[in-house]
């Protein structure tokens, strides 16, 4: 008789309560360093700081549901994520709808708890405003980070509607607060019409590769450029889903036409091979504007590729440590 309790045989439509990739659910308040958890995926259901279309608060739910289709083996990297990393679903961060600054404090507290147990936080948003809280928590633990941002927009406005904290201001605030080092950071994929102030030199020091140039350069060379830029520094990797053309990712609040395909984006993630990622965010998935869940499924693929990158880095480190002690 077939054993239908086997994880590969059980229907992915009847696999129990929804968690990211059907991973174990472990509330972050219960985690300790002794648990040996390497990565925690957290939903951040907030969209109170968007400027056009809302709905990203439903992003974590959509990505969780779509992720039940996924498995954790990577043909390209020849590994199974859970053979190398212990990954759990930490649930959703508590937020306060309508109170953005309080929500940022709650996000920062939750992400700090993940860092304190020695794990990698992987945030699934939610709008991009969550990044300032994410980076405050990461920098407190690891010092200033190098930012690798895949996005259609730079998010370095000084203010938005007169407000200093919005999804279009996060990386100016992060630079001002010393959370990231712009001189070792890189922003890729920018395109579309921009405010007048975006046309001037902002003096922040980021390397910016606009979308047309990125498409000409290609994923493999972009990967080399990114690695050269960040060096051996701890990295904050952020993927705004509007990096991808809306023909492949319609479910987002600020779509920009003329972007990379989903295949280009996933190939770029595989080419990055960043050895020291300290925090990850996937943002701006807005399910009300999605079509047949294709944006949610792309979000799943993005998180999968980032987890395989982290798993490959751990495999390399383990092999190097083994040679040192041989």
CA distance linking residue 190 with residue 192, whole number of Å: 7
236 pLDDT more than 90: yes
CA distance linking residue 167 with residue 284, whole number of Å: 10
The percent of residues above 70 in pLDDT, for the chain, comes to: 89
The predicted-structure confidence for 132-188, as pLDDT tens digits, reads as follows: 999 999 999 999 999 999 999 998 876 776 666 666 789 999 999 999 999 999 999
Q: pLDDT band at 90, cuts 50/70/90?
A: very high
Of the candidates 239, 226, 190, the one whose C-alpha atom is nearest the C-alpha of residue 211 is: 190
Listing DSSP states for 242-255 in one string gives: GGS-TTT---BSS-
CA distance linking residue 1 with residue 158, whole number of Å: 65
CA distance linking residue 108 with residue 134, whole number of Å: 6
Provide the sign of the torsion angle of the four alpha carbons 152, 154, 159, 165, taken in this order.
Answer: positive
CATH 3.30.70.20 fits 20-324, yes or no: no
Q: Tokens 């920018």 belong to which residue? A: 190
In the predicted model, what is the mean pLDDT of the chain?
90
Of the candidates 203, 136, 121, 206, the one whose C-alpha atom is nearest the C-alpha of residue 173 is: 136
- Give the three-state DSSP class for 298: helix
End-to-end CA distance of the chain: 46
Model-wide pTM > 0.75: yes
Q: pLDDT band at 201, cuts 50/70/90?
A: low
The predicted-structure confidence for 25-58, as pLDDT tens digits, reads as follows: 999 999 999 999 999 999 999 987 787 788 999 9
Contact 68, 22 (CB under 8 A): yes
The predicted-structure confidence for 261-300, as pLDDT tens digits, reads as follows: 999 999 999 999 999 999 999 999 999 999 999 999 999 9
Torsion of CA 62, 77, 310, 259, to 10 degrees: -50
Which run of H or of E encompasses 102? helix 100-116
Contact 128, 155 (CB under 8 A): yes
Q: Which residues fall within 8 angstroms of residue 174, CB to CB, at 6 or more apart?
A: 131, 132, 135, 147, 180
CA distance linking residue 113 with residue 195, whole number of Å: 37
Q: Which residues of 33-61 are buried (b: 16+ CB within 10 A; e: fewer)?
A: eeeebbbbbbbbbbbbbbeebbbbbbbbb
Phi-psi region of 112 (alpha: psi -120 to 50; beta: other; left: phi over 0): alpha
CA distance linking residue 133 with residue 108, whole number of Å: 5
Listing DSSP states for 198-220 in one string gives: GGS--SS--EEEEHHHHHHH-HH
Query: Tokens at residue 155, please?
Result: 């998010």
CA distance linking residue 143 with residue 22, whole number of Å: 33
């Amino acid at each position: 008789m077939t054993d239908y309790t086997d994880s590969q045989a059980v229907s992915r439509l009847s696999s129990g309560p929804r968690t990211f990739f059907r991973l174990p659910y472990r509330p972050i308040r219960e985690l300790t360093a002794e648990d040996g958890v390497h990565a925690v995926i957290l939903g951040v259901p907030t969209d109170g700081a968007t400027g056009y279309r809302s709905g990203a608060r439903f992003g974590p739910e959509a990505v969780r549901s779509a992720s039940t289709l996924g498995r954790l083996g990577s043909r390209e990297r020849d590994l199974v994520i859970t053979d190398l990393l212990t990954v759990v679903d930490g649930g959703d961060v508590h937020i306060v709808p309508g109170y953005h600054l309080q929500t940022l404090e709650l996000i920062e507290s939750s992400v700090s708890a993940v860092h304190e147990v020695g794990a990698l936080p992987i945030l699934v948003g939610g709008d991009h405003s969550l990044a300032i809280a994410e980076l405050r928590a990461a920098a407190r633990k690891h010092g200033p980070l190098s930012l690798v941002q895949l996005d259609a927009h730079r998010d370095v406005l000084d203010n938005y509607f007169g407000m200093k904290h919005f999804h279009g201001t996060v990386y100016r605030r992060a630079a001002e607060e010393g959370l990231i080092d712009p001189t070792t950071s890189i922003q890729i994929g920018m395109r579309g019409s921009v405010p007048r102030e975006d046309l001037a030199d902002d003096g922040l020091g980021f390397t910016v590769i606009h979308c047309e140039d990125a498409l000409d350069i290609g994923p493999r060379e972009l990967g080399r450029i990114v690695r050269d830029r960040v060096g051996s520094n701890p990295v904050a990797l952020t993927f705004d889903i509007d990096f991808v053309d809306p023909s492949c990712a319609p479910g987002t609040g600020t779509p920009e036409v003329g972007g990379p395909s989903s295949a280009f984006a996933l190939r770029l993630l595989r080419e990055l091979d960043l050895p020291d990622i300290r925090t990850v965010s996937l943002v701006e998935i807005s399910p009300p504007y999605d079509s047949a869940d294709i944006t949610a499924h792309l979000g799943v693929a993005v998180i999968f590729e980032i987890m395989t990158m982290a798993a490959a880095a751990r495999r390399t480190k383990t092999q190097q440590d083994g040679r040192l002690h041989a």
